[in-house]
Structure 1
Amino acid sequence: MDRGEAVGLIEAIGLATAIEAADAAVKSANVRLLGYEACRGDGMSTIKVVGDVGAVKAAVEAATAACAKGRGCWTSIVIARPSEGIEKLIYNRQTVGYTMPEEPETEADIEEKQEETEEE
């Protein structure tokens, strides 16, 4: 996530409602859909979008309105410039549609691979 980006979270009730909300969000403003995360209980799904603050606010409003067509929106929030400490809550393996970046190799990993190659 870029340091200046905002994140928008929309907690929709039901997967179909969440998909419609995500569609409305990305069509209404210049945001990127990070994915969705299935919540525990009540069939809720949290849609995650990122972009500049104004675009994220517009996308969250459109998504919240779209939720009204389905089972509804439990809550929504826009976080401008989230703290680095909460990035792991936003960017994680439970987010469907988001691929975790590979960890950069350490010098020890590189040396280990070289030793394995030399042994062969």
Structure 2
Amino acid sequence: MPMAVGVIETQGFPAVLAAADAMVKAAAVTIVYYGLAESARMLVAVRGHTAEVERAVEAGIEAGNNQSNGGTVITHYIVPNPPENVESILPIHFTQKSEPFRIM
């Protein structure tokens, strides 16, 4: 079954932390990337089955926007089945750090 990828970009660290926490609690997904985009914009990417990623992104958007210390969700995106060449170039593949937490 194809593994989707979902990405949320937030303004500020508290919002991305709240989004990441909500994503992994709401659905069977694995965080595969977290990082700084630019000018206090943060990214978190998760992988899992398409329905799970959709549910996780919805929960992450709500949590990121409702974070009490400021910060908001700037944008989000879901790719249902990224091709291998995209996975090999972009940091959305499972790594040694994320592999132990991989949900089948």
Q: Which interval holds the TM-score relative to the shorter structure?
A: 0.7 to 0.9
Q: Which structure dedicates a bigger proportion of its chain to strand?
A: 2
Q: Secondary structure at the match of 2:90?
A: helix
In 2: Cα distance, 1:19 partner to 1:90 partner: 19
Number of residue pairs matched?
A: 92
Question: Structure 1-normalised TM-score?
Answer: 0.70
* Structure 1 residue 13, shift from structure 2 partner: 1.0
- What do you get for the CA RMSD once the two structures are aligned? 1.8
Asked whether 1:90 is paired with 2:91, we answer yes
- CA separation in 1, counterparts of 2:91 and 2:81? 12
Q: Which residue of 2 aligns with 1:53?
A: 50
Give the share of equivalent positions with the same residue, in percent: 30
Ranges of 4+ aligned residues in structure 1 off by more than 6 Å: none
Structure-1 separation of matches of 2:38 and 2:22: 24
After superposition, residues 10-25 of structure 1 pair within 5 angstroms as 10-25=8-23
Q: TM-score, normalised by structure 2?
A: 0.80
Displacement of 1:75 = 0.4
Greater gyration radius: 1
**Cα-to-partner distance string for 1:78-116 (whole Å, 9 max, x where unaligned):** 101102221121348xxxxx548xxxxxxxxxxxxxxxx
CA distance in 2, matches of 1:15, 1:24: 14
